[in-house]
Chain A
Amino acid sequence: DIQMTQSPSSLSASVGDRVTITCRASQIITTYLNWYQQKPGRAPKLLISAASSLQSGVPLRFSGSGSGTDFTLTISSLQLEDFATYYCQQSHSVPYTFGQGTKVEIK
C-alpha cells in the first residue's frame, strides 16, 4: 500500500497568515493527489484534485502543487472559515489511502 504522510499534524495560525501543508507519498504517484477539507461533524469537501486542479467554487487562496512523491497545499491568506482539518489522498493505486490529516487551529 502507498503510505501518505502529512506534516505538520496540527498548526496554529492567525487570520491572514499564509499556511502550507505538505504531503509525502511512499512511492511515486505522479499527480494522482487530492486535497480535502473537513469541518467538525461534516463530510469532507474536495478542494483540489490532480495535485493542482482547483475544484469549482473553491476560493483562489487555496492552491496545490507537486508531483512524484512530494505535494503541498497552500492557503495564501487564512480566513476564519478555513479552520478545519485537511487530508491528502492518493488516487493512483488501490487502496486509495489518505494522509493522517492536518488540523488548522486558530492562534
Chain B
Amino acid sequence: EVQLVESGGGLVQPGGSLRLSCAASGLTFSTSRMSWVRQAPGKGLEWLSYISNSDPATIYYAESVKGRFTISRDNAKNSLYLQMNGLRDEDTAVYYCGRVSGLGRGTVDYWGQGTLVTVSS
C-alpha cells in the first residue's frame, strides 16, 4: 500500500521559514516523480511544485512560490521536502505531497493526508 506522510507544519510568523517533509512507503521512491499541492482554508487546490526522478532533477514551481520555496528529495531516505522561506499570510494552507503519474507532469495519483501551515503574528 502506498503511503505518503507529511510532517513539519505548524505556526510560523510572517517572514519565517519552515521545512515540510513527506515520507514515502509502498512505492519505489527513487523512480517516482513527486509534487506539492496546497489548499488554503475553505479554498480550492493550488499546484505548487514538481520534481522529476532524474539526475539532475527537473523542477518546476508556481509563480506564487518561486524564489521562496525549494523542493528537494532524498532517495536514500524515501523522502520529499519543501523548504519554505519568506512565508506570508497567504501561504496559510494545508500542504499535500503527492506522487506524479500518468499523462503529463501534473497528475497526482497518490496523496498524503496533508500538513497544516499557519502563517500569523
Whether the pair A31, B46 counts as a contact (CB closer than 8 A) is no
- Chain B interface: which size bin? 20 to 34
What string of 1s and 0s marks CB contacts (under 8 Å) between B75-105 and chain A?
A: 0000000000000000000001000011111
Q: Besides the contacts A53-B102, A97-B47, A99-B44, what 8 more A-B pairs have beta carbons closer than 8 Å?
A: A34-B107, A44-B37, A50-B102, A89-B47, A91-B107, A95-B47, A96-B104, A101-B44
Number of residues on chain A facing chain B (CB within 8 A): 27
The closest CB in chain A to the CB of B114 belongs to A43
Chain A residues near B101: list those with CB within 8 A.
49
Complex Cα distance A48/B98, Å? 16
Complex Cα distance A43/B37, Å? 10
Query: How many Cβ-Cβ contacts under 8 Å join chain A to chain B?
Result: 70
Measured between C-beta atoms, what is the minimum distance from A87 to chain B in Å? Answer: 6
Measured between C-beta atoms, what is the minimum distance from A104 to chain B in Å? Answer: 15
Given contacts A95-B62, A95-B63, contact A44 B103 (CB under 8 A): no
What string of 1s and 0s marks CB contacts (under 8 Å) between A40-65 and chain B?
A: 00011110011001010000000000
User: Which A positions have Cβ atoms within 8 angstroms of B?
Assistant: 1, 31-32, 34, 36, 38, 43-46, 49-50, 53, 55, 87, 89-92, 94-101
Decide if the interface of chain B is mainly helix, strand, loop or mixed.
loop
Question: A46 touches which one: B60, B104, B109, B112 (CB < 8 A)?
Answer: B109
Given contacts A31-B103, A98-B44, contact A46 B50 (CB under 8 A): no
Q: CB within 8 Å of A: which of B30-75?
A: 37, 44-47, 50, 60, 62-63
